[in-house]
Amino acid sequence: MLYEIKDKCPECGGHCSDSDCSECNNTGRVTYFDHYDSEADALADYPHSLIRLVLNPMKPTRKQVEALYSIYHRDWHNYQDKPATYLQFRREATRPIIFMDGCIMVQFCGMTLGIERDGYAHS
């Protein structure tokens, strides 16, 4: 599984308020992404860091796929830009976005719809 690890900056040690640290941009922390079997394994490598599981950014949930299917089969009101196939429509949707908690975005009748991980779609 993919984990986000926020650790002290190795260049300034987390104390860069007076200096110009290029490693962490004067925040004192750097972010890494690494694969581990469990959170305990990540904590073993980074014992004093903030660690959180990252959702797989490449795979939508089953409920999101079902919502995409439902949206594709809605009435498009003769909208000219309707994709020729459902597969094309699904490929045009963005991948789940990490900073938006896995929401995917898709164009529908001139609007941008967001589909949450639980399948709830909104504009």
Domain coordinates of the chain in residue numbers? 2-53, 62-122
State the average pLDDT over residues 35-44: 86
SS3 label, residue 64 = helix
- Name which residue leads in pLDDT, 74 or 19: 74
Report CA-CA distances (Å) from 38 to 4, 23, 109.
Answer: 12, 27, 42
State the average pLDDT over residues 97-103: 70
State the average pLDDT over residues 71-89: 79
What's the residue count for the chain? 123
pTM over 0.85: no
What whole-number percentage of the chain has pLDDT above 90?
6
Q: Is 110 left (phi over 0), alpha (psi -120 to 50) or beta?
A: left
Q: In the predicted model, is pLDDT for residue 56 greater than 60?
A: no
CA distance 102 to 61: 9
Q: In the predicted model, is pLDDT for residue 105 greater than 80?
A: yes
* DSSP H/E element including 87: helix 86-92
Confidence of residue 90 (pLDDT cuts 50, 70, 90): confident
